Amino acid sequence: MPVILDGKKVQEAIQASLKPRVERMAAGLRPPGLAVVLVGNDPASEIYVRNKVKACRQLGIYSEKHLPAADVSNEDLLFLIHSLNARPDIDGILVQSPLPDHLDTDQVLLAIDPAKDVDGFHPLNVGLLVANGSAPRACTPAGIMKLLEHYSIPVAGKRAVVVGRSDIVGKPVALMLLHANATVTICHSRTRDLAAECRRADIVVAAIGRPAFLTPEHISEHAVVVDVGINRLSDRADVERIFVGDAEKLAALESKGSVLVGDVHPAVHPRCQAYTPVPGGVGPLTIAMLMSNTVACAQRRLGLEGGC
């Protein structure tokens, strides 16, 4: 039987380790502070932000939301970020993506103080990741590494294949696996014989953004499969094709209007060594590592041990 890698359990363990750190900071100096900037009213982004603020509240981290209108100018958004950079009570700044098309995403990212970049996306922090230096790490990839560690899945000496080369997940998780002494291959849309590349892997990280893209022909029986994809299916034919004979999924489609599937086909699950479910696998770890980054940035800014 394959092992189900439960991200919620790992999230709970991470948060349990953070809570006493936050309590000590709040009692001695002040709690860590996180500012979340959400431009416009994208429904998915609003859910993400709500969950992040909820996690802060549960841990005792101070948080505040900034909600510029969808038509905010680039200049005004940059002014907001610079004002947050100057705030001594704010240790982390997160600008929720995606931003409206008229805004310069690269310029906004560069405006965030690298010491407050809890997403780990600033070029300085990306460079420190490449050099294996101390800096905030991108949350989803860092969460994947925590997941593997929690379940005592060996990485050193193993062959890892990362399917997807995004700056948010694919590239940083490949670097983290490399620093953990895995032999890493990054695959993408132009990789020749992707199935053969994946079958050689002990660890497969699927982050390509295509529903049920990796099938049993891609995965060996000894593989650990980490599925980063979160794809929403609303067409009944797609649900019936991917979740063959699954009455529960069809019922969920009827009641909710959609169901979620990862980048890995459900038929892979019975044949691999371990896998992350969707939902409930990698997703909860992204917010947990955001909280971890916020606490570490606060400790560093306050000159306390344990800072990033």
Average predicted confidence (pLDDT) for the chain? 96
Confidence band, pLDDT 50/70/90 cuts, at residue 304 = confident
Provide the residue count of the chain: 308
CATH code assigned to 30-116: 3.40.50.10860
**What is the reported pTM?**
0.95
Confidence band, pLDDT 50/70/90 cuts, at residue 307 = low
Among the options 11, 15, 52, 299, which is catalytic? 52
Residue 308 pLDDT: 59
Q: Measured between alpha carbons, how far is 101 from 220 in angstroms, rounded to an integer?
A: 41
String of b and e for 282-305 (b: at least 16 CB within 10 Å)?
A: bbbbbbbbbbbbbbbbbbbbeebe
Among the options 11, 15, 91, 96, which is catalytic? 96
Q: At what angle do helices 43-59 and 283-301 cross, to 10 degrees?
A: 50
**Residue 305: is its pLDDT beyond 80?**
no
Active site residue 119: yes
Q: Helix, strand, coil shares of the chain as percentages rounded to 5?
A: 45, 15, 40
pLDDT tens digits, 71-123: 999 999 999 999 999 999 999 999 999 999 999 999 999 999 999 999 999 99
Domain ranges of the chain: 30-116, 139-285
Active site residue 238: no
Q: How much is the average pLDDT of 23-27?
A: 95
Q: For the chain, what percent of residues have pLDDT higher than 70?
A: 99
Among the options 117, 119, 202, 263, which is catalytic? 119
Same fold, 30-116 and 139-285: yes
Active site residue 273: no
CATH architecture of 139-285: 3-Layer(aba) Sandwich (3.40)
